[in-house]
């Protein structure tokens, strides 16, 4: 009998403890800007602060309908948390969520559907009342580490510029024979380092540093100046065809210079009002890493 009582007591304690833990994990809280949020994991590590950069996976739902996911469009995203005096008037739920998460945490945060959101969601979903975000915090960079990476990126800009201008000159002069390779599409390229990670292929989530130049070597855009790699998913049309094809010639960690004919770049029109004139061939130096 005593043995049975002990078993019942132990079972009751376990149930109460489980209920307590479950309650701690699933009880919603209200964030600073009025969003309902549930932390499913409650990790105890450090949390990102203003000025720091978080790496997150986010899936967005209205009702049961998936509206978008970083896993399907290039992989985890960097989110830089602005200081309070630089917060937008309409604070995104993601900012409120990230500052309450530790690396490894998974949360659900809800945003009421107001007239602005309702105007852009499909008609069949307009009766829904909330947008649901499923967020996972992969990691985050301290402001000091982020500033260091920015400085390193900008420091490399000059050497990449010199290399690209030199190759552009040689290309125009026709003196790259023996160095250039060419694909069936007309893309020409030089692989500086093939990379030793997994092969970039259709569907691979990629982050790329790039230096984009016109055919005379003059810069029109670069990620090195911003200190942030560009995320995209290879092979699904998010990039111009020549860039997309060139990235898929490499493994993760690879580096190459691409000589892209205008038909594989911005075509007959270029970028009206932008930096690319009509029928302009382009040169891209790229460094790719797979997520």
Q: Decide if 55 is inside a domain.
A: yes
Same domain, 162 and 96: no
Show which of 77, 111, 141 is a domain's final residue.
141
Residue 8 lies in a domain: no
* CATH code, domain carrying 98: 3.10.50.40
Residue 285 within a domain = yes
Residue 143 is classified by DSSP as H
The secondary element (H helix, E strand) that includes residue 132 is: strand 130-141
Domain end position, chosen among 91, 123, 141: 141
Confidence of residue 193 (pLDDT cuts 50, 70, 90): very high
pTM of the prediction? 0.65
pLDDT tens for residues 34-46? 999 999 999 999 9
User: Does some domain include residue 13?
Assistant: no
Within a domain: 241: yes
Residues 270 and 164 in one domain: yes
Given pLDDT bands bounded at 50, 70 and 90, which one contains residue 74? low
Same domain? For 31 and 129 the reply is yes
For the stretch 163-167, contacts whose Cβ atoms lie closer than 8 Å and that sit 24 or more positions apart, written own/partner, are 163/257, 163/285, 164/211, 164/213, 164/217, 164/257, 164/283, 164/285, 165/213, 165/217, 167/217, 167/257, 167/283
State the residue range of the domain holding 206. Answer: 148-290
Please compute the mean of the pLDDT values over residues 115-144 and round it to a whole number.
Answer: 90
Give the end of a domain, one of 94, 110, 141.
141
Q: How many domains would you assign to the chain? A: 2
DSSP track, 23-90 = HHHH--EE-TTS-EEEESS---S----TT-EEEEEEEEEETTEEEEEGGGTTS-EEEEPPPGGG--SS
DSSP type of residue 198: P
130-187 tens-digit pLDDT: 999 999 999 887 778 778 888 888 899 999 999 999 999 999 999 998 899 999 999 9
Residue 12 has pLDDT above 70, yes or no: no
Do 206 and 131 have their domain in common?
A: no
Residue 283 is encoded by which pair of tokens?
A: 């040169």
Q: How far apart are CA 154 and CA 224, in angstroms?
A: 6
DSSP string, 206-274: EEEEEEEEETTS-EEEEHHHHT-PEEEETTTTSS-HHHHHHHTTSBTT-EEEEEE-GGGTTTTT--TTS
**Angstrom distance (rounded) from CA 217 to CA 166:** 8
Q: Are both 169 and 273 inside the same structural domain? A: yes
Q: Which residue has the tokens 């985890």?
A: 76
158 & 73 share domain: no
How many percent of the chain have pLDDT more than 70? 90
15 is written with which tokens? Answer: 């149930």
Q: Is residue 82 part of a domain?
A: yes
Q: Known catalytic residues?
A: 210, 220-221, 240, 266, 284
> Six-digit token pair at 38?
């549930």
User: For residue 226, what pLDDT is reported?
Assistant: 85
Q: How far is CA 172 from CA 103, 149, 180, 221, 251, in A?
A: 49, 34, 13, 20, 28
């Amino acid at each position: 009998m005593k043995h049975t009582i002990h078993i019942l007591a132990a079972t009751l304690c376990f149930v109460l403890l489980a209920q307590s833990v479950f309650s701690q994990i699933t009880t919603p809280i209200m964030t600073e800007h009025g969003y309902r949020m549930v932390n499913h994991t409650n990790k105890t590590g450090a949390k990102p602060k203003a000025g720091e950069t978080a790496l997150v996976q986010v899936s967005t739902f209205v009702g049961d309908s998936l509206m978008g996911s970083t896993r399907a469009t290039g992989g985890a995203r960097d989110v830089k948390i602005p200081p309070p005096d630089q917060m937008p008037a309409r604070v995104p739920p993601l900012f409120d969520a990230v500052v309450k998460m530790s690396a490894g945490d998974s949360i659900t945060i809800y945003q009421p559907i107001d007239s602005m959101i309702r105007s852009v969601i499909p008609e069949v979903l307009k009766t829904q009342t909330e947008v649901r975000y499923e967020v996972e915090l992969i990691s985050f960079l301290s402001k000091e580490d982020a500033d260091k990476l920015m400085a390193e990126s900008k420091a490399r800009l000059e050497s990449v510029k010199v290399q690209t201008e030199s190759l552009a000159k040689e290309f125009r002069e026709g003196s790259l024979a023996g160095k250039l390779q060419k694909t069936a599409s007309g893309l020409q390229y030089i692989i500086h380092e093939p990379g030793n990670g997994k092969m970039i292929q259709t569907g691979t989530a990629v982050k790329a540093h790039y230096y984009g130049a016109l055919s005379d070597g003059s810069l029109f855009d670069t990620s090195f100046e911003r200190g942030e790699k560009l995320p995209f998913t290879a092979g699904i049309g998010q990039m111009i065809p020549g860039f997309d094809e060139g990235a898929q010639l490499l493994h993760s960690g690879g580096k190459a210079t691409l000589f892209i004919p205008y038909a594989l770049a911005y075509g007959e029109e270029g970028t009206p009002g932008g930096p690319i004139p009509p029928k302009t061939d382009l040169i891209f130096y790229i460094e790719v890493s797979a997520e």
